[in-house]
């Protein structure tokens, strides 16, 4: 590997070590909050036995937390049943015992599920902000059956990271008084400053299923106030906590049987390891060597007919865990948020390039500085005749965020770097390097009820003239558009850009609102390690919401939102203008009703991307109402249905979508769900790739009649909280018929629809009938804490026909299952080692 690929790691390491050295000692003064209470943790002379019973000596001598208050359905109301809690600790562990009194313990449901799956019914959750920064935290939850859930919290509760899996223990018991939960959380799983005494943010929540989905907590949590970690109470008495140098290693071995050419099979064996090392008590290094993610569920099938990239959620545990630290969204506000941001981890190790190794440093210093760094190297991938498809590449990310005023204000920085060893095979389409630097800020005031935030981003990419020419003409930039002043230059070897945004938000009380302004210059480019759909754009988004949080005779709670937005190019060409309203009501029987609608393309607006590099095209107004409802998840059978309708292009375009789902729970161990997503879409102006001939470039559009149906089946059988079987399948069919192929006329901005187009005499696209099937059968056994065995069977099928055919959708599904399957069998075992 060339030395220059590893250079980004050096500044990352230097920054982390410098910050660690310069860290200030933590203050021993506990922050105060208007509704906070203070609880005391007691030093345990001997560790309690984790059995769900309160017979241990420590539980007889510790002080009791009793002042629980209801926050749902009525904020500040009296709980229907009392709850008590006790907290203790020793040199290695943090202990909590919770007694949930219940007058009818025989009515408590014990529903089994896989770890981290939220099922209905009662629950006890403890929340620990061990940094005591009022911004982050850890959640540990359990239901009466002993099903565990744990999360890492970022951004004052705005983000929950369910991929974070700590190694901890809990025991539950249902007895004559109700039920109990006894927690043992190793201090090695928490992150805190090394100091003579510590104060943790702390809370306990209890869900009472039978009483209208009642939720109670200590201290009082206010749903009318934005923020989660900032509302926690203070836990004092934590004296002399050790700063363990944590070392956790989870080596794994893998056997995989996969399809190979000529209908043969290929047996593969592999090994790797996941490593977690506590550099200090508040800084952690995570590393993965030769990672395999074969147990991860496949992406949903899509047929993308646009010129824009499809966004897929990250599912790989190494990258999902801790993702909140690296969050730096672009063009994300309450009205519109499409996943655009500076760090899109799916860029690392995408097919066919595998990951050689990756490392991640995360932590928080006593002075309020949160830090994160990611470093990854991917291997070379080659095709026939050893032609390079993906070169060896290095990806690096640094994120810093400094809090002030007890987390009410902050300033942050993010930098990303991509360096590739491009060669003669790849330098024509891959950029040699890409760098992004950005700053952001946040400031809350008026008791946290208002917030001003913003960011400033800069980007630069470098490569051969061919690579940068491809960047300029991509759908993200469209420099070749003939009717704007952005100049396409095929001799460029670099491209620079910038982006800015400013948001003002009211986030407490009955009426909330947000107004925001974002813009991105034509040369702004972050797609080497981020995700960006469109540059050369500025937008103004406005949102207001009325929130009824107190129950009435008609409903439990309700929300009514109003949205207004406008978008322009940087040359102020209007590209979008619309209004939306939507309402969400939870009835007294715990059913939900949702309804709303959008009126878009108001006034004179033009699409600068529809012609795929051609001139802007006038857009006509559209309307899109929708409606949905959902059942009470406490019931054995829970239905959900959503309907959506669209009408645009003066009635020439329309779509109808229905998305029903039904969840079924059989007993306490078996659950299943079936859902369908069916759409009939008629698009009179579906854009196509331009065609160039001796007469010039033809910017093409066509009439598309498309039918698309996908179904999802899921069955979960939980033998014990540590042994589960999951089956998942998704068949997908999309077929379309093309007609009336046209090209843009000399006046694509004409007020009259027909004047914008003219006949095209060339050949149009062929019809299509695309079918996919993806399925997984996963057996997961956590045979000891932190150690897991996976047995996986994955199957894929696909079929393409250049015609819609005469079959019905059900007939297409039948043909899909007649195609040869691609089966993959995998056995993966990991063993957790802790020192």
The CA distance from 14 to 19, in Å, is: 8
Q: Residue 312 pLDDT > 90, yes or no? A: no
Place of tokens 């702004």: 524
For the segment 584-609, what is each residue's pLDDT rounded down to a tens digit?
Answer: 999 999 999 999 999 999 999 999 99
Q: Residue 34 pLDDT > 50, yes or no? A: no
The CA distance from 655 to 675, in Å, is: 19
The CA distance from 139 to 320, in Å, is: 17
Tokens of 781: 């056994």
| Domain assignment present for 328 | no
The CA distance from 692 to 694, in Å, is: 7
The larger pLDDT score, comparing residue 400 to residue 28, is at 400
CATH code (residue 126): 2.60.40.1190
Q: Residue 479 pLDDT > 90, yes or no? A: yes
Per the structure, the complete domain to which residue 194 belongs is given by: 31-239
Per-residue pLDDT band at 2 (split at 50, 70, 90)? very low
For the segment 743-777, what is each residue's pLDDT rounded down to a tens digit?
Answer: 999 999 999 999 999 999 988 899 999 999 999 99
For the segment 97-136, what is each residue's pLDDT rounded down to a tens digit?
Answer: 999 999 999 999 999 998 888 888 899 999 999 999 888 9
The DSSP 8-state label assigned to residue 329 in this structure reads: B
Q: In this structure, are residues 528 and 513 in contact, taking their beta carbons and an 8 Å threshold?
A: no
The CA distance from 117 to 532, in Å, is: 32
Tell me the mean pLDDT in the region 45-70.
94
Per-residue pLDDT band at 85 (split at 50, 70, 90)? very high
Helix (H) or strand (E) holding 384: none
The DSSP 8-state label assigned to residue 65 in this structure reads: B
Tokens of 347: 């860029």
Q: Which residues are within 8 A (CB) of 650 and not within 5 positions of it... i.e. 6 or more apart?
A: 620, 753
For the segment 493-549, what is each residue's pLDDT rounded down to a tens digit?
Answer: 999 999 999 999 999 899 999 999 999 999 999 999 999 999 999 999 999 999 998
| Domain assignment present for 118 | yes
The CA distance from 203 to 64, in Å, is: 14
| Domain assignment present for 742 | no
The CA distance from 518 to 569, in Å, is: 11
Strands 178-186 and 93-101: antiparallel
- Whether the ω angle into residue 73 lies within 30 degrees of 0, i.e. cis, is yes
CB atoms inside a 10 Å sphere around CB 383? 11
Tell me the mean pLDDT in the region 289-314.
79
Dump strand ranges (E) for 620-694: 622-630, 637-648, 653-666, 670-687, 691-693
The DSSP 8-state label assigned to residue 468 in this structure reads: H
Q: Residue 302 pLDDT > 90, yes or no? A: no
Per-residue pLDDT band at 316 (split at 50, 70, 90)? confident
For the segment 647-683, what is each residue's pLDDT rounded down to a tens digit?
Answer: 999 999 999 999 999 999 999 999 999 999 999 999 9
The CA distance from 329 to 520, in Å, is: 13
| Domain assignment present for 193 | yes
Tokens of 336: 């519109």
To 5 degrees, how large is the angle CA 132–CA 136–CA 139? 100
| Domain assignment present for 833 | no
* Residue 264, pLDDT score: 62
* Residue 31, pLDDT score: 34
* Residue 5, pLDDT score: 40
For residues 314, 317, 322, 325, the Cα torsion angle rounded to the nearest 10 degrees is -20
* Residue 245, pLDDT score: 67
The CA distance from 37 to 63, in Å, is: 14
* Residue 102, pLDDT score: 95
- 526 sits in the region (left: phi over 0; alpha: psi -120 to 50; else beta) called alpha
Average pLDDT score over the chain? 90
* Residue 338, pLDDT score: 84
Strand, coil or helix: 57: helix
| Domain assignment present for 101 | yes
Helix, strand, coil shares of the chain, percent, nearest 5, are: 10, 50, 40
Q: In this structure, are residues 822 and 259 in contact, taking their beta carbons and an 8 Å threshold?
A: yes
* Residue 224, pLDDT score: 86
* Burial of 355 per CB tally in 10 Å (0-12, 13-18, 19+): buried
* pTM assigned to the model: 0.86
* Residue among 601, 603, 605 nearest 618 (CA): 605
Q: Report the b/e string of 385-412 with b at 16+ CB within 10 A.
A: eeebebbbbbbbbbbbbbbeeebbbbeb
Domain count for the chain = 1
| Domain assignment present for 229 | yes
Q: Residue 211 pLDDT > 80, yes or no? A: no
* Residue 350, pLDDT score: 82
Percentage of residues of the chain with pLDDT beyond 90: 71
The CA distance from 587 to 714, in Å, is: 28
Q: Which of 46-55, 428-437, 802-811 has the lowest mean pLDDT?
A: 802-811
Per-residue pLDDT band at 15 (split at 50, 70, 90)? very low
Q: Residue 792 pLDDT > 80, yes or no? A: yes
Place of tokens 């990611």: 374
Q: In DSSP terms, which residues pair with 396 in a beta bridge? A: 375, 417
Q: Residue 32 pLDDT > 60, yes or no? A: no
| Domain assignment present for 47 | yes
The CA distance from 160 to 140, in Å, is: 12
């Amino acid at each position: 590997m060339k030395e220059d690929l590893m250079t980004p790691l050096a500044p990352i390491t230097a920054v982390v070590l410098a910050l660690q050295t310069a860290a200030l000692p933590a203050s021993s003064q506990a922050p105060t909050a208007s509704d906070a209470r203070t609880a005391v943790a007691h030093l345990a002379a001997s560790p309690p036995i984790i059995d769900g019973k309160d017979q241990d000596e420590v539980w007889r001598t510790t002080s009791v937390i009793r002042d629980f208050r209801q926050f749902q359905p009525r904020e500040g109301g009296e709980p229907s049943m009392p709850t008590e809690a006790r907290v203790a600790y020793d040199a290695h562990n943090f202990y909590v015992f919770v007694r949930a009194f219940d007058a009818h313990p025989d009515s408590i449901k014990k529903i089994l599920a896989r770890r981290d799956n939220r099922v209905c019914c009662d629950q006890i959750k403890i929340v620990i902000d061990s940094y005591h920064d009022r911004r982050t935290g850890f959640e540990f939850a359990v239901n009466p059956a002993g099903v565990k859930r744990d999360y890492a919290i970022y951004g004052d509760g705005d983000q929950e990271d369910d991929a974070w899996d700590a190694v901890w223990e809990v025991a539950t018991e249902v007895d004559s008084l109700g039920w109990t939960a006894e927690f043992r959380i190793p201090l090695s799983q928490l992150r805190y400053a090394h100091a003579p005494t510590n104060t943790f943010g702390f809370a306990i929540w209890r869900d009472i299923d039978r009483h209208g989905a009642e939720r109670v907590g200590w201290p009082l949590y206010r749903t009318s106030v934005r923020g989660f970690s900032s509302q926690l109470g203070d836990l004092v008495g934590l004296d002399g906590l050790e700063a363990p140098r944590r070392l956790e290693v989870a080596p794994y071995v893998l056997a995989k049987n996969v399809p190979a050419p000529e209908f043969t099979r290929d047996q593969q064996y592999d090994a790797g390891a996941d490593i977690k090392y506590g550099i200090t008590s508040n800084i952690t290094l995570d590393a993965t060597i030769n990672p395999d993610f074969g147990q991860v569920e496949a992406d949903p099938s899509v047929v993308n007919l646009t010129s824009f990239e499809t966004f897929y959620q990250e599912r790989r545990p190494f990258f999902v865990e801790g993702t909140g630290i690296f969050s730096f969204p672009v063009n994300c506000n309450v009205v519109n948020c499409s996943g655009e941001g500076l760090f899109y981890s799916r860029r690392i190790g995408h097919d066919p390039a595998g990951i050689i190794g990756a490392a991640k440093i995360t932590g928080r210093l006593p002075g309020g500085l949160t830090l994160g760094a990611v470093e990854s190297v991917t291997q070379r991938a080659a095709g026939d005749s050893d032609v390079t498809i993906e070169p060896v590449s290095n990806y690096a990310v640094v994120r810093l965020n400094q809090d002030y005023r007890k987390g009410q204000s902050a300033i942050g920085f993010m930098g990303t770097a991509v360096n590739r060893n491009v060669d003669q095979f790849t330098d024509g389409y891959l950029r040699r390097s890409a760098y992004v630097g950005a700053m952001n800020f946040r400031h809350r005031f008026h008791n946290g009820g208002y917030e001003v935030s913003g960011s400033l981003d800069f980007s630069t990419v470098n490569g051969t003239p061919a690579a940068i020419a491809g960047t300029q003409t991509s759908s993200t930039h469209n420099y070749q558009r003939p009717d704007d002043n952005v100049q396409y230059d095929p001799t460029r070897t670099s491209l620079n850009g910038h982006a800015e945004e400013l948001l003002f938000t009211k986030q407490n009380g009955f009426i909330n609102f947000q107004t925001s302004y974002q813009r991105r210059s034509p040369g702004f480019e972050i797609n080497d390690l981020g995700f960006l759909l469109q540059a050369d754009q500025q937008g103004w988004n406005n949102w207001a919401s009325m929130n009824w949080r107190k129950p009435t005779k008609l409903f439990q709670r309700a929300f009514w939102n109003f949205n207004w937005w406008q978008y322009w190019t940087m040359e102020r060409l209007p590209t979008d203008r619309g209004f939306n309203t939507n309402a969400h009501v939870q009835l007294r029987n715990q059913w939900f009703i949702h309804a709303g609608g959008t009126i878009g393309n108001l006034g004179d607006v033009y699409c600068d991307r529809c012609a795929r590099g051609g001139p802007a095209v006038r857009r006509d107004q559209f309307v899109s109402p929708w409606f949905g409802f959902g059942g009470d998840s406490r019931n054995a059978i829970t239905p959900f249905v959503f309907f959506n309708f669209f009408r645009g292009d003066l009635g020439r375009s329309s779509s109808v979508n229905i998305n029903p789902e039904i969840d079924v729970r059989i007993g306490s161990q078996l659950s299943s769900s079936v859902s369908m997503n069916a759409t009939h879409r008629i698009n009179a102006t579906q854009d196509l790739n331009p065609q160039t001939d001796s007469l010039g470039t033809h910017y093409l559009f066509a009439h598309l009649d498309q039918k698309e149906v996908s179904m999802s089946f899921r069955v979960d059988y939980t033998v014990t909280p540590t042994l589960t079987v999951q089956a998942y399948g998704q068949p997908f069919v999309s077929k379309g018929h093309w007609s009336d192929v046209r090209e843009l006329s000399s006046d694509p901005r004409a007020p009259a629809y027909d004047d914008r187009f003219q006949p095209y005499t060339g050949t149009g696209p062929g019809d299509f009938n695309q079918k996919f099937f993806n399925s997984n059968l996963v057996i997961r056994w956590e045979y000891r804490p932190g150690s897991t065995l996976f047995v996986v069977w994955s199957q894929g099928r696909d079929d393409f026909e250049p015609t819609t055919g005469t079959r019905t959708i059900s007939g297409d599904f039948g043909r899909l299952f007649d195609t040869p399957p691609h089966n993959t069998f995998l056995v993966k075992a990991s063993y957790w080692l802790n020192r």
